[in-house]
Structure 1
Amino acid sequence: MKKKLLGVLAATMLFATACGDDGGDTGNNEEGGGEAEGSEGAELDDLFVTVATGGTSGVYYPIGGAISTILESELGIDSSVQATGASVENINLIENGRAELAITMADAVQQAYEGSGAFDGEEPTDNLRGMASLYPNFVQVVTTEDSGIESIEDLEGMTVGVGAPNSGVELNARMVLEAYGMSYDDIDEDYLSYAEAIDQIKNGMVDAAFVTSGVPNATVIDLDTTHDAKIIPIEGEAMEYLEENYPFFSAETIPAGEYNNDEDIPTAAIMNVLLVSNDLSEDEVYEMTKALFDNLENIQGSHNAAQDITLDTVETGMPVPLHPGAERYFEEVGALE
């Protein structure tokens, strides 16, 4: 009798368990969220997200810090900020699985995607995916009032800081010189980060430096405290050449008053973009994108340049496809055309 009763109870429990499983699956499919988001949150707890940025004196680093803080506080994700040599290194970190998010310049991303420029001879990294376009970087050719340099052509024969090798700054330096019919053969190039180059301008060892960043840039402000800093314009036929041959460039102006400039300074600009690892799932990237843009004011407060990050420009100048998770979020909030 006991054996028979135990058998009935066991069968009843198996039946109840089976019904419970079916009901759970059906509920998740029909609701399309709710419990699924809760389980996804548990998976997010297991993530470690490295945010690849740039030098600690640049703009990428504080913005990356704000991103990392939001992921930790809002989603419980363990995250760290990594100082790097910026764009090209960041792309390689994403590609090699050593970073999950990376701030890069659109020109470097396009070259990696196509296997051109700094990535010439390499297999195109066509699995790169974007989370969002961020803010424009301004190409700033920085010198001092007493240098005698008034134009890009005046850099001929001068010692010029062109950025760390294969950095986004260095790629820009080559393109801008090309637009003026020049190359490294015409200058004494010095492969210094822009922070190092600005220090060498102070010491009289470098005549000018390429600084590609948001504005204002802290190193340029620092130079202006001891010297009269000056930014050389990029305009006219050279600017037209850049837009025609490198469509990630756009003609912009550095507004009067950003430094000690009384007037707007015409120059070239390139969008900065946030890349995300294609190894992350759609749900993971959706939650991360939502958290960042739900707390956008925290990112905008990390640096003056970040105030240009808005939902209106998340696709502007993005040279690679958006990750499906980011695309899903932006479609939900009406940010995509």
Structure 2
Amino acid sequence: MHELLKNALSQLLSTANRETGARLTEKRLSLHLFNALNTGNADLAGACLIAARMPTFGQLSPLYYYAPSVADLTRQYTAAIRRFDRPLAVALDLGTAVTTAKALTPDTDNGNGYVGSQMVPRTNYVDDIVTQLLRQQHAAKNRRGRFDSWVRFHNFYTAYTVAMLMFCTGYRSIRDPLPRLSHINLSRGVIVVADKTNDHQSHARFIPLPPVMIDQFHRYLKHRHAVLSRLRLYLNHDWDTPFLLLDVYGNPQPVTPARLEHHLQWPHSPPLNINRHYLHTQFKERGCSAEEVDAFMGHWDMGQEPWAKHSTFCPRAYRHSITSQVEDMMLEQGWTVIEGTAL
């Protein structure tokens, strides 16, 4: 089919060039389509997938986290083609539009309903891992009493809270997520994420928090205070980072990707950053603009910082759009607030 279409296009362009004197090529048409797709507040990642082109500045981070449906790309393509109607009508001195682009219904029965990142989890998989985490919490809480059971519950409780934070903020899988309590403001419901940035913090970003995450973090801090009070005899100094895990002897340990993966025990052991793939794709499927998603994910280049002094990015619109979508997703996935242990 690909070769048939390519040969047909080649013949069409040859005929058009011969009859009109134009110098159309497949490459020029592809570039024109790419520019039409990337007009205004369009999604550059979607344009790259449709036109099979990369932007002139090189790699594009959103492409690695995005798996749009073929139906959504078809709608973007159809909208771009329709923009050619009037210019073509004027050029050909016609009174009416000349294109007949219609929104098609792609055949997704062959399993190719999505393109792009292969690491975007299905919604039912995310629902299943939340259910599994809640089941682990319930089982560990019912067995507490002995010291080892108490340590087990704490580690599961920490892993659950960190996983919730990752799925509502897009936090990367790094050592010591949320390194300082000063990075989060629970009264304002906002967190500063600086998980991949430079000395100037040019890629630090502000993320609004949903109410369920705020409530869960309040309860985790209360639990953390009780844990540190009980273990103070084992510590030479206070534990600085908000999150901590415990070894079998009760010694505190930092949260690392390997330790977190061990306690989460996700089915099929996917990379921990599937939360970023999932959120990026879900936001765009739910109607968030590419600009808002890039601000949430931390995907911008030098001079495009949404929080820069002269930026025209609207933080109020961003917060309203992102918060409403995250709240809906957290509710649909089944995240709930869990109390810590009574020590």
Q: TM-score by structure 1 length?
A: 0.24
Greater helix proportion:
2
Q: TM-score with structure 2 length normalisation?
A: 0.23
